[in-house]
Structure 1
Amino acid sequence: MRAPNLFGRGERVQIEYSHGSKKTSNFNIGFIKPFRGRHRSTLTTSIFQANSEWPTSGYKQLERGLLLDLGFYSAPLLKHNIQWEANIRDLSVLSKTTSFAVREQAGLSLKSSLRHVLSVDLRDDVIFPTSGSLFQLTSEVAGVGGDVGYLRNDFFLQSNYSIWEDVVLQGCLAGGHMSSISNDMKIGMSDMYYLGGPLSIRGFDMRGVGPHSERDALGAMSYWSAGLHLFTPLPFRPGKGGFGELFRTHLFVNAGNIGNFQLAKSEDLLERLKNNVRLSYGLGIALRLGNMARARSELLLSVYFR
């Protein structure tokens, strides 16, 4: 449910609610207020509840929280988001076979964090870009209250090049590292990095790469991933200029690694990053779903390098 232009100055309220077959319910109530001026500032306030289940990690989580977000531009294409998020999380085991390493983290935790997101988006399209780049850098400090504390930095880079008519080469690189800020504060499983699955390294199970305990993925404090993608029209261009433009042939190579890498030990860092690298490659068909997302059907091969 949306109420646009609520008070006549661009304000809007959005309410989303879902009820699952397992008697779980999620909701998000948001108030968005834009401001006039050259910085194009927008203030967003939201209250949310979210249920999530992670069978590959053996746990489920109920999260309730509050998010304040101030977005603005310091330059025409340089966007900043300054956020404060506070949430209460209830982590519980998913089955009787959940490992002890997961069970000992069950219970309530309170997280309060400050986050800064810097982004530059020069792409000509969000779903199937033909040119331009996207860069995003996220820095987060948790421990401004609560019992969860860490310093976390993530980056994401995507570049697109049109090498022929409607043939686009896309390169992606992402990575992140986090560290504890206090021995009295913890880092929970839901804060860790995970790798594997269709959104990171295709061909591996969701969260299938990295440290495990009795088949439960535990996550890690550092990761990197890279991808090279080639998008082309469908062979023989069926439906050219119409329905066929929603589809692309997709060839890809993905690689990445995850672990508890120590950045201070530079002599061992490159060796650790190269060890146990996972790689997958394949081809498929990508479908454009409006301006929101894309779906894929793929045939692939996965390789594990020790």
Structure 2
Amino acid sequence: MIRTGTSISQGHIKGGLFGKIRNVFGGGEYLEASYSVGNRNGTAIQGRFTTPINGNPFRLFDLNVFQDSNDFTQSSSYREVARGINLSLKKIGIGKNHEFNYTYSWRNICDLGNKASQSLHPEPSGGHLFKLFTEYAGFGGVNFHKTQLDSALELPLGRGWYVDLIARGGLAIPIRNSKIGISDRFFLGGSTSLRGYQYRGVGPMDHKDSLGGNIFGALSLTLLGPVPSVETKRLKSQLWINGGQLALWENSKLFFSRQFFYVTHYSLFLIHLVLVPCGIGSLIFYKKC
């Protein structure tokens, strides 16, 4: 079932598209999706999946994901985007209903205009990030296990100064005497990876070709703060230092540099570090969702 609609009220124009599929897997489930757009409220996207629990139509599990974009530029010089997920358990009875509901959402302030006041520019408040990614390839001719860990820590120092510490590492292990192809290897180097080095410029090379690797580690430390004598929150100064290494493990040998220097033990990995670059610069903040 597909349905469309349009509404006009006091200068507010809104239109939308709604779709629903019943009995998706043959057990009374249904799937809903909707999209709406307005000249004031922006856009809204929503997807919902509902299924009976153990085939009982009076006990339902509901999964809902959504994204709402609100345009406040006419009154507050910014847009707000809210994204989230909602989980609920429902019990439907005669004359009474019970529902357990959990919603996780996060909101972003974005598209600040050039005339936006300083009060709308948010300051970082500190925090941390931990992300673990694991991949297993075991079908066909490719067999390996690949894991990458990313972590970050931001600490406020006061008076608008913050320190950021980022640590990353990864390891890919071939299985059943297979080799890890170049498309599945790690690469390091570049402005978004390891500053001070060319794009994919760290690790083993064969002439001008970057070969990548299956073991790497990188560490970055950044001091971020206001620019002296400049009264704006959109311009920041920064001091940074980072370093790292990437190596290729093949045939019990660990290749590091352009000359294919190798060692025979993982324990020597941290000894052969590349030079550690450092720098000074500025940042201009402009957030767009």
TM interval, short-chain normalised: 0.5 to 0.7
Counterpart residue number, 1:77: none
Root mean square deviation of aligned Cα: 4.1
Q: Is the 8 A contact 1:175 1:225 kept in 2?
A: yes
Which of 255, 270, 274 pairs up with 1:273?
270
How far did 1:236 drift?
A: 1.5
Report the TM-score when normalising by structure 2: 0.54
Q: Is 1:198 matched with 2:195?
A: no
Secondary structure of the residue aligned to 2:19 is coil
How far did 1:73 drift?
A: 9.6
Counterpart residue number, 2:235: 247
Q: How many residues align?
A: 189
How far did 1:257 drift?
A: 0.7
- Percent of aligned pairs with the same amino acid: 24
User: 1:41, 1:186 → 2: CA distance?
Assistant: 42
Which of 2, 7, 10 pairs up with 2:19?
7
User: 2:265, 2:206 → 1: CA distance?
Assistant: 25
Q: Is the 8 A contact 1:230 1:252 kept in 2?
A: yes
Q: Is 1:154 matched with 2:148?
A: yes
The one-letter code of the counterpart of 1:260 is: L
Aligned CA distance change for structure 1 residues 180 and 131 (closer, same or farther; 3 Å): same
Structure number with larger C-alpha Rg: 2
User: 1:146, 1:198 → 2: CA distance?
Assistant: 35
User: 1:134, 1:39 → 2: CA distance?
Assistant: 29
Q: Is the 8 A contact 1:155 1:174 kept in 2?
A: yes
Secondary structure of the residue aligned to 1:190 is helix
Q: Is the 8 A contact 2:145 2:172 kept in 1?
A: yes
Aligned CA distance change for structure 1 residues 41 and 216 (closer, same or farther; 3 Å): farther
How far did 1:6 drift?
A: 4.2
User: 1:174, 1:125 → 2: CA distance?
Assistant: 28
How far did 1:290 drift?
A: 1.2
Q: Is the 8 A contact 1:141 1:152 kept in 2?
A: yes
User: 1:268, 1:186 → 2: CA distance?
Assistant: 18
Aligned CA distance change for structure 1 residues 35 and 237 (closer, same or farther; 3 Å): farther
Q: How does 1:19-30 map to 2 (within 5 A)?
A: none
Moved more, 274-283 or 200-209: 274-283
User: 2:184, 2:286 → 1: CA distance?
Assistant: 30
How far did 1:274 drift?
A: 2.1
Aligned CA distance change for structure 1 residues 178 and 285 (closer, same or farther; 3 Å): same
Q: Is 1:290 matched with 2:284?
A: no
> Which ranges of structure 1 fall in alignment gaps of 5 or more residues?
14-30, 44-70, 75-121, 293-306
Counterpart residue number, 1:170: 164
The one-letter code of the counterpart of 1:181 is: I
